A and B are shown apart, each in its own frame.
Chain A
Amino acid sequence: MLRIPDLGRDFMEWFSKNLPYLLAGVSVGGQYALIAIGYTMVYGILRLINFAHGDIFMIAGLIMIYASASMPMYVSIPLVLIATVILGFLIERVAYKPLRSAPRMSVMISAIGVSYLLQNLALYITGGLAQQYPAIPWISDTIQVFGASTKRVTVITPVLTIVLVIILVALIKYTKIGMAMRAAAKDFETSQLMGIKINSVISMTFIIGSFLAAVGSLLFFTNYTGVTPTVGAMPGLKAFVAAVFGGIGSIPGAVIGAFIIGICENIIKGMGWTTFSDAFTFALLIIVLIAKPTGLFGEKATDKV
Chain B
Amino acid sequence: MTKKKAAVINVALIAALLIALYIMEQILPPTAMVFTVLKKGAIYALVAVSMNLLNGFTGLFSLGQAGFMLLGAYTYGILTIPVEQREFVYQYFDGGIVKFTVPVVVALIAAGAVAAVFAYLIGLPVLRLKSDYLAIATLGFAEIIRAVFQWDKLGPLTNGSNLLRSYPTFQSVLYPFIVSGICIAIIVMLINSTYGRAFKAIRDDEVAAEAMGINLAHHKRMAFIISSFFAGVSGALLAMYQTTIQASMFKSAMTYEILLIVVIGGIGSVTGSCISSFLFIIFSEWILRFLDNDTYIGSFHVPLLRSGFRKVVFSVIIMVIVLFFRKGIMGTREFSVQGICNFFTGKSRKKKAVKGGDSND
Q: Which A residues fall within an 8 A CB radius of B?
A: 47, 49, 95, 98-99, 102-106, 108-110, 112-117, 119-121, 123-124, 127-128, 230, 233, 237, 240-241, 244, 275-276, 278-279, 281-283, 285-286, 289-290, 293, 305
B312 and A117 contact, CB distance less than 8 A: yes
B340 contacts partner chain A, Cβ-Cβ < 8 Å: no
Q: Does B129 contact A (CB under 8 A)?
A: yes
0/1 interface trace, chain B 283-308, chain A, CB 8 Å (1 if under): 00000000000000000000000111
Contact A305 B207 (CB under 8 A): yes
Q: Which of B147, B253, B267, B326 contacts A279 (CB 8 A)?
A: B147
A-B contact pairs, 22 of them (CB 8 A): A47-B132, A95-B323, A104-B132, A105-B55, A105-B61, A108-B135, A113-B318, A113-B319, A116-B253, A116-B256, A116-B257, A116-B260, A120-B315, A127-B308, A278-B143, A278-B144, A278-B147, A282-B137, A282-B141, A282-B143, A289-B137, A293-B133
What are the residues of chain A within 8 A of B131 when measuring CB–CB? 104-105
With A109-B263, A237-B140 known as contacts, the answer to whether A99 contacts B151 (CB < 8 A) is no
Query: Are B148 and A279 closer than 8 Å at their CB atoms?
Result: yes
Cβ contact of B256, chosen from A103, A105, A112, A293, cutoff 8 A: A112
- Decide if B144 touches A282 in the complex (CB within 8 Å): yes
Is A108's CB under 8 angstroms from B260's CB? no
Which chain B residue lies CB-closest to A285? Answer: B140
- Contact check, B140 vs A282: say whether CB atoms are below 8 A apart: yes
Residue in A closest to B139 when the chains form the complex, CB atoms: A237
- Give the residues in chain B near A275, CB-CB below 8 Å: 147-148, 150-151
Is B137's CB under 8 angstroms from A124's CB? Answer: no
| Residues of B that sit less than 8 Å from A by CB | 55, 61, 125-126, 128-129, 131-133, 135-137, 139-141, 143-144, 147-148, 150-151, 207, 251-253, 256-257, 259-260, 263, 267, 306-309, 311-312, 314-316, 318-319, 322-323, 326, 360-361
Q: Chain B residues with Cβ under 8 A from A285's Cβ? A: 136-137, 140
CA distance A290 to B126 in the complex (A): 8
Q: Is the CB of A49 within 8 A of B143?
A: no
Contacts of A276 in B (CB 8 A): 147-148, 151
| A115 CA / B319 CA spacing, docked (Å) | 10
Q: How far is the CA of A113 from the CA of B137 in the complex (A)?
A: 19
Check if A124 sits within 8 Å of B309, measured CB to CB. yes
Q: Which chain B positions have C-beta within 8 A of A106? A: 322, 326
Please give 14 more A-B residue pairs, beta carbons under 8 A apart, in addition to A95-B323, A128-B308: A95-B319, A99-B326, A102-B326, A103-B361, A108-B135, A109-B263, A113-B322, A116-B256, A121-B312, A124-B307, A237-B140, A279-B143, A282-B141, A286-B126
Neighbouring B residues of A108 by C-beta, 8 Å = 61, 132, 135
Contact A113 B315 (CB under 8 A): yes
**Bound Cα distance A123, B126 (Å):** 34
Residues of A within 8 A of B260 (CB): 109, 112-113, 116
Instruction: Report how far A289 CA is from B312 CA in the complex, Å.
Output: 36
Do the beta carbons of B140 and A286 come within 8 Å of each other? yes
